[in-house]
Amino acid sequence: MDKHEEVLIALRQIIRAIDLHSRKLNKVAGLTGPQLVLMRAIRDSGEVTIRQLSNNTNMSQATATTILDRLEKRELVVRERSKLDKRKVHAYLTETGKEVLAKAPLPLQENFVSRFQELEEWEQSLLLSSVQRISSMMNAEHLDVAAVLEVGSITKQEEIAP
């Protein structure tokens, strides 16, 4: 097998692992990866504005707002105007949101991050440069994406058959 075929197989394995975890997350908690990341950020930040959430999760404000709209429709999150500064809107988890979050599996990237951080500095740099080169070779380096391992749209919740 040629090396380029081995690289493509490894990429497909990564995509498949992300897809399987996304389906599990959707089936167990009814959430997408980005929704889970935002909910965890709200929980961990306490009182947080949409801009802070956007910065904390590496998502654009528009993407974070769209995801929050979906979470709010499902009554997992509420947004309230600040009592001190009426220009600011804060996001909070509802009791239902806290329950859903408690039952949700960990994001796939948490396992990755912990294992990546165990690598030597030179190994981390080697992997980073290799993945960046692959991204460039696929003309994907210009795409605006969050640091969330998720397949498909980061705002659209897709139905997964049981």
pTM of whole model > 0.85? no
Report pLDDT digits (tens) over 105-131: 877 777 788 899 999 999 999 999 999
Number of domains in the chain: 1
- Within a domain: residue 87? yes
**CATH, residue 76:** 1.10.10.10
- Within a domain: residue 149? no
- Within a domain: residue 148? no
- Within a domain: residue 144? no
Expressed as residue numbers, the domain containing 122 is 3-137
- Bridge partners, residue 90, by sequence: 49, 80
- Within a domain: residue 158? no
Report pLDDT digits (tens) over 15-41: 898 888 888 888 888 888 889 989 999
